Amino acid sequence: MLGPVILAASRSDKMRRIVSAAPVTKPVVDRFIPGETVDQVIPIVTGLADRGLEVTLDVVGEDITTPEQAAAARDAYLELIGRLEPLGLGTRAEMSVKLSMFGQALPGGHELALANVRPVVEAAAAIGTTVTLDAEDHTTLDSMFAIHEELRKDFPQTGCVIQAYLFRTEEDARRLAADGSRVRLVKGAYKEPASVAHQDKAEIDLAYVRVLKTLMAGSGYPMIGSHDPRLIAVTQELARRHGRKLDEYEFQMLYGIRSEEHVRLAAEGHRMRVYTAYGTDWYGYFMRRLAEKPANLLFFVRSMITK
Ligand code: FDA
C-alpha cells in the first residue's frame, strides 16, 4: 500500500524540497542515478559497453514550467549526443526522452514538444542511433503517440513506450505491432485511477503477457522493459515460438536494479539495454523507483534515522 502514497508524494513540491535537502538522500539516489553531469555519466556508459551492454540515456527532468526550461532540456540532449559521437558510443547508446520535459504540458505544448524533440531525433540519427519516447501519465499519451507517428515519417526507428497497466494498451500494441515500430513494453510506474488502469499486480502481469504476445507475434521490434524473471522467461519462450532471432527483440532494465541479470542475459547472447538516468532534477524518477519496491523506502528511512 506504500507505493501509491510514494507516487502521490512524487508530485508534491513540499516533499520534493524535504527529500532533496535531506543529507542522507544522495547515497540512495546514486544507486539509481549514477551522475549529475555528462562528464560523470560518460564513464558509466563506457563501463556498461565494455561489459557487452547497450544503454539508453535519460537526462532526468519532467513537469517543467517554462519554454526556456524545455529548450534547455533539448540542449542537454544535444550536448550529450555531441559527446557520444567522438567516443564511438553512438551505436551503443540511444536516448530516452520524456515529452513533459520538452514542454508538452505548457500552452501549445504538443507543438512545442514536437519542435523541441525533433532536433534531438535528428542529431541521434546523424550519429547512427535512435530516440525512444517514454510513457508518462495517461493524460499525456494521445499527444505522445501523435508525436511518435509524426517523427516516424522521417525517422522510422523512433521508439515509444506502452504501459501494461492501462486498459488502452492492448489496442495500442496491436496498432504499433502491425506498423513495425520499436516498442518498449513496461508495467507502468505512475499513479493511475481505476477508470483507466488495472490496480492489481497479478492483473497487470497478465495484461503484460497478453500485450507481449501481440508484440512478439507482430512485425515490430519489441523491447522488454522489465526486471521480472517470469516475464523474461515468457519472452524467451515466445521468441522461440515465433522464430525471432536474438537481434529481433531486446531486454531493457534500469541502472542499479538486478545488475547481475543484465550481464547474465548479455552473456547468453541477448541484446540487453540498461536505462541510465542522470542529471540534477532526479526527484520524480527517484520516487518512482522507491514506489516500485517498498524495501527501497525502508532502507532510505533507516539511513535517515541512523544518521
Ligand atoms: P516488478 O515491479 O514486479 O519487479 C520485478 C523485480 O524486479 C522485483 O521483485 C525486484 O526484485 C526488482 N525491482 C523492480 N523494481 C525495483 C526497484 N525500483 N528497486 C529494486 N528492485 C526492483 N514506466 C513508465 O510508466 N514509463 C516508462 O517510460 C518507463 N520506462 C522504463 C524503461 C525501462 C528500461 C524499465 C525497465 C522500466 C521502465 N518503466 C517505465 C518502469 C516500469 O513501468 C516499472 O515500474 C518497473 O520496471 C518495475 O516493474 P518490473 O517489470 O520490473 O516488475
For the entire predicted model, the pTM comes to 0.95
Of the candidate CATH numbers 3.40.50.1820, 3.30.420.40, 3.20.20.220, 3.30.565.10, the domain formed by 34-281 belongs to 3.20.20.220
Residue of 74, 92, 118, 134 marked catalytic:
134
Grid cell listed for 36: 549529475
> Rounded to the nearest 5°, which phi and psi values hold at 144?
-60, -45
Neighbours of 106 (CB within 10 A): 17
Ligand 1 pocket, Cβ-based, cut-off 6 angstroms = 134-135, 161, 163, 184, 186-190, 225-228, 252-254, 257-258, 275, 289, 292-293, 296
Domain layout of the chain by residue ranges: 34-281
What would the 3-class secondary structure string for the chain be? CHHHHHHHHCCCHHHHHHHHHCCCHHHHHHHHCCCCCHHHHHHHHHHHHHCCCEEEEEECCCCCCCHHHHHHHHHHHHHHHHHHHHHCCCCCEEEEECHHHHCCCCCCHHHHHHHHHHHHHHHHHHCCCCEEECCCCHHHHHHHHHHHHHHHHHCCCCEEEEECCECCHHHHHHHHHHCCCEEEEECCCCCCCCCCECCCHHHHHHHHHHHHHHHHHCCCEEEEECCCHHHHHHHHHHHHHCCCCHHHCEEEEECCCCHHHHHHHHHCCCCEEEEEEECCCCHHHHHHHHHHCHHHHHHHHHHHHHC
Grid cell listed for 123: 542529431
Of the residues 137, 187, 286, which should be mutated to test ligand 1's pocket, given the most ligand atoms within 8 Å of the CB?
A: 187
CA of 28 to the centre of ligand 1 (A): 17
Whether 184 is catalytic is yes
Return d(Cα 56, Cα 45) in angstroms, integer.
9
Atom 43 in ligand 1: residue holding the nearest Cα? 188
| Strand partners of residue 58 | 277
Tens of pLDDT, residue by residue, the chain (307 residues): 678 888 888 888 888 888 777 776 788 888 999 999 999 999 999 999 999 999 999 999 887 999 999 999 999 999 999 999 898 888 899 999 999 999 999 999 999 999 999 999 999 999 999 999 999 999 999 999 999 999 999 999 999 999 999 999 999 999 999 988 999 999 999 999 999 999 999 999 999 999 999 999 999 999 999 999 999 999 999 999 999 999 999 999 999 999 999 999 999 999 999 999 999 989 999 989 988 987 887 777 766 665 5
CA of 68 to the centre of ligand 1 (A): 31
Task: Check: CB of residue 275 under 8 Å from CB of residue 252.
Answer: yes
Atom 26 in ligand 1: residue holding the nearest Cα? 135
